[in-house]
Amino acid sequence: MRSTWRDRDRDFQKELPGGETTLRLLVETIYKTQPENKPIPGFDPHKDDTQYYRIQQNIDCDEVYSGIYIGDAATAKNKEYLQMLGITHLLNSAEGKRFGFVNTDANYYKDTTIKYIGLPLADLFTTDISKYFYTAADFIDEAISTGGKAFVHCMLGMSRSATCVLAYLMIKKEMLAADAIRQVRKNRFIQPNEGFLQQLVQLDNQLRRQRL
């Protein structure tokens, strides 16, 4: 048993090439990566129709990685739009009835074929979102690996949902945290709070050590 713990200690102490990932690196990556202007997924940008354009005004959704979409609460409740996109899995990273949460559950989507999971996360510096990193990653991966599409949301689609998608890219696609942030932020304006970013820092260093 002692040998096992010594091995783990050695793994934990391994020096990382290029040094440790830091909060400062991730914050700088966010501010240096500007979102590109792209049409709303599912709509033809060349179609010239007033009603068609008006419908889009209530949609806040971006494809941030192949088959993965991040959006806001209102879009998550638009079942017609989700079905038009072909969403198979929906992750609500702000499930709850209080202010700042989105009051949906599996029952809300029972008249669709969408598979649902809800995480009761507050967008606070002190929230431990890391305990759901692998739950979120596995759920998103189930969608992608079976040819489906995942829609991940919170209230605004900026912090909680973005953090879950970043964790997926790091765990399942073996991206470094900074690369995952560039991938997502170039497609959508995201802004995880610093507490979430610090937890992504810890995940990044842990994953990097495991892959040495």
Beta pairing class for 68-71 and 61-65: antiparallel
DSSP 156-201: SSSSHHHHHHHHHHHHHS---HHHHHHHHHTTS-----HHHHHHHH
Nearest-angstrom CA–CA distance, 153 and 102: 9
Backbone angles phi, psi at 118, to 5 degrees: -125, 135
Catalytic residue status for 164: no
Cβ neighbours of 54 (radius 10 Å): 9
Contact 121, 94 (CB under 8 A): yes
CA 155 – CA 71 distance, rounded (Å) = 8
What's the number of CA atoms in the CB half-sphere (13 Å) around residue 81? 24
Q: Which of 25, 68, 140, 154 is catalytic?
A: 154
Alpha carbon 185 to its chain centroid, in Å, reads: 11
Cite the active site residues. Answer: 154
